[in-house]
């Protein structure tokens, strides 16, 4: 049986370093179909049945850059068996923005918190167990540069590939959830249940590419647009900004409970 694992993360989070550590010299380079973005794949060391696909470095799964489109088309259409999401532990807030979207795809996710050598050197702390609980997926601390935690996170990704994805934990505000439920019921019910949420959020955001793909009949679209307009009116913002803002509020609450910055100005005991 062959297993497909996608490696996803922000630019500069250490993704290439991790990809090289996972695959060694066992890599092949090509291009993503139709674009000049480099596509790297490789076999996981000691697992000739496991292919790791290195997705372009991205901050979000929106449709605004070639890299985002390539990455999300792969995740949605090729449906890898698991996503290994590498995040920079020294920049949790920005990196978790992608994570909150990846866990909505209906694919099992394992998170690797990278740069832990720097986090520790700085005297900061990340509560990995609590982060795992809040995201409802396995989380590992690693240093791709130093090679620590790599084997463990790779094994976890291989194991995750044979499991069901967990339910996304984040709930948007009531009026948004109401619209999302309506969208799922009216247009997405023939799709596997665990993929519906990602599509519903994209339709709520007015994502052109998803709207083109789903082709909603005009009467249903009118109802959906009314729901979205209700949410925009109640929250006094446009649909896309509502989703972005609520993600950042959610991320702030996660960081508050998992991240401890070394307190400045404290005299050491020595």
Pattern of binders to ligand BGO over 15-34, x per CB under 6 A?
A: xxx-----------------
Which among 5-13, 122-130, 179-187, 199-207 is the span making contact with ligand BGO, rule CB under 6 A? 5-13
Closer Cβ to ligand BGO, 115 or 203, answer by number: 115
Interface with ligand BGO (CB under 6 A), residue from 61, 76, 98, 115: 115
In angstroms, the CA 19 to CA 16 distance is 5
Interface with ligand BGO (CB under 6 A), residue from 114, 134, 187, 196: 114
DSSP 194-225: HHHHHHHHHHHHT-HHHHHHH---HHHHHHHH
Closer Cβ to ligand BGO, 38 or 167, answer by number: 38
* 117 part of the interface to ligand BGO, by CB under 6 A: yes
Closer Cβ to ligand BGO, 84 or 203, answer by number: 84
Closer Cβ to ligand BGO, 91 or 220, answer by number: 91
68 contacts 58 by C-beta, under 8 angstroms = yes
Residues 41-70 that bind ligand BGO (CB under 6 A): 57
Closer Cβ to ligand BGO, 99 or 143, answer by number: 143
Residues 131-170 that bind ligand BGO (CB under 6 A): 143-145
Closer Cβ to ligand BGO, 59 or 195, answer by number: 59
Nearest approach in angstroms of CB 142 to ligand BGO is 7
Count residues near ligand BGO (CB under 6 A).
16
Closer Cβ to ligand BGO, 85 or 143, answer by number: 143
Interface with ligand BGO (CB under 6 A), residue from 3, 14, 134, 180: 14
Which chain residues interact with ligand BGO by CB under 6 A?
Answer: 9, 11-17, 57, 114-115, 117-118, 143-145
């Amino acid at each position: 049986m062959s297993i497909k694992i996608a490696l996803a993360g922000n630019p500069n989070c250490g993704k290439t370093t991790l990809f090289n550590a996972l695959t060694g010299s066992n890599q092949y380079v090509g291009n993503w179909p139709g674009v000049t973005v480099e596509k790297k794949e490789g076999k996981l060391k000691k697992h000739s049945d496991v292919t790791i696909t290195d997705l372009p470095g991205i901050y979000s799964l929106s449709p605004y850059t070639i890299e985002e489109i390539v990455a999300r088309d792969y995740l949605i259409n090729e449906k890898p068996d698991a996503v290994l999401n590498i995040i920079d532990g020294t920049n949790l807030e920005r990196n978790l923005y992608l994570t909150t979207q990846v866990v909505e795809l209906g694919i099992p996710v394992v998170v690797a918190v990278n740069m832990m050598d720097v986090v520790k050197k700085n005297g900061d702390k990340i509560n990995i167990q609590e982060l795992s609980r809040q995201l409802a997926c396995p989380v590992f601390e690693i240093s791709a540069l130093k090679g620590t935690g790599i084997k463990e996170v790779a094994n976890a990704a291989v194991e995750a590939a044979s499991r069901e994805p967990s339910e996304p934990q984040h709930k948007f505000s009531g009026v948004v959830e109401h619209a999302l439920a309506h969208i799922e019921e009216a247009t997405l019910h023939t799709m596997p249940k665990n993929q519906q949420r990602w599509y519903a959020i994209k339709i709520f955001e007015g994502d052109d590419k998803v709207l083109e793909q789903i082709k909603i009949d005009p009467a249903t679209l009118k109802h959906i647009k009314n729901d979205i307009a209700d949410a925009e009116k109640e929250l006094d913002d446009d649909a896309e900004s509502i989703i972005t803002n609520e993600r950042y509020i959610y991320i702030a609450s996660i960081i508050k409970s998992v991240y401890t910055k070394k307190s400045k100005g404290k005299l050491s005991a020595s």
